[in-house]
Amino acid sequence: MAGTESNQGARIGKYAIKQGATGSLDNDFPMLRYADVLMMKAEALLRTGRADEAALLVTEVRQRAFLATDPSKAVVTGAELLQGSSYQYGIQNEDGTVTGTGGDDIEFGRFLDELGWEFAAEAHRRQDIIRFGVFQTKSWFNHSPHPQADSRTLFPIPNDEMNKNPKLTQNPGYND
């Protein structure tokens, strides 16, 4: 909902929460899943012109979520993966409307959508949107591209590390 505070509303409960758990959860966090491997291969196939082969792998990943309830939703085609994103990129206004450019111009945008759906709350999104060129060009929620967005695809090297090794040079855009 637009205009809510960070401590309001529903939280993501992607994995089962232990019964009787308090605020200090000890849930595991996935670093790599089999779905990661399948989606990495699918992206490589898609980017090398083998969209139909990529779609078979994406369908395999989607089956986990849809096979039992609606198997038709598990199927994605190569032609669909070649489409732009269905996400409405832009700045979200206080009333919840979005002012922006949309995502239909993103190459392999539908595949980027698939990554977002499958890996929600798994710390993948920043790297995915950098790889697809979205970080540097699009807005979402209340984020606009930084004027130096290209240099922000890399993090700065911490000063302590720079001081330890005089051969290091700071990543571009952080010497300002």
Cα 36 from Cα 123, distance rounded (Å): 12
Q: How many CB atoms neighbour CB 119 within 10 A?
A: 18
Q: How many CB atoms neighbour CB 173 within 10 A?
A: 16
The angle that helices 51-66 and 34-47 make with each other, rounded to 10 degrees, is: 150
Cα 100 from Cα 56, distance rounded (Å): 33
> Higher-confidence residue: 7 or 51?
51
pLDDT, tens digit (0-9, with 9 covering 90-100), for 43-90: 999 999 999 999 999 999 999 999 899 999 999 999 999 999 999 898
Q: In this prediction, what percent of the chain has a pLDDT beyond 70?
A: 89
Cα 148 from Cα 89, distance rounded (Å): 19
> Higher-confidence residue: 172 or 164?
164
What's residue 12's pLDDT? 72
